Amino acid sequence: MAATEFLQTAQGRRLAYHKSEGTGPTIVFLGGLKSDMEGTKAVHLEAWAKSRGYPFLRFDYSGHGESSGAFTDGCIGDWHEDTIAAMRSLTDGPLIVVGSSMGGWQALLLARVLPDRISGMVTIAAAPDFTEDGYWASFSDEQKAALETVGHVELPSDYMEPYIITKRMIEDGRQHLVLRGPLDLPYPVRFLQGTEDTAVSIETAVRLLEHATGPDMRLLLIKDADHRFSDMRCLALIEQAVEDVMRIDA
pLDDT of residue 122 exceeding 60? yes
Could you give the angle at the alpha carbon of 123 between the alpha carbons of 14 and 118, nearest 5°? 70
Tell whether 78 is covered by a domain: yes
| CB distance 56 to 27 below 8 Å | yes
Tell whether 151 is covered by a domain: no
Here the CATH number for the domain that contains residue 102 is 3.40.50.1820
Strand pairing of 118-124 and 189-194? Answer: parallel
Count of residues in the chain: 250
User: Tens digit of pLDDT for each residue in 205-220?
Assistant: 999 999 999 999 999 9
Domain containing 217 equals 5-129+181-249
Tell whether 214 is covered by a domain: yes
**13 vs 42: CA distance, rounded Å:** 22
- Buried b or exposed e, range 214-250, using 16+ CB within 10 angstroms: eeebebeebeebbbbbbeeebbebbbebbbbbbeeee
Tell whether 61 is covered by a domain: yes
| CB distance 144 to 213 below 8 Å | no
Q: What is the mean pLDDT of residues 22-32?
A: 97
Residue 75: pLDDT band with limits 50, 70, 90: very high
Tell whether 237 is covered by a domain: yes
Residue 250: pLDDT band with limits 50, 70, 90: very low
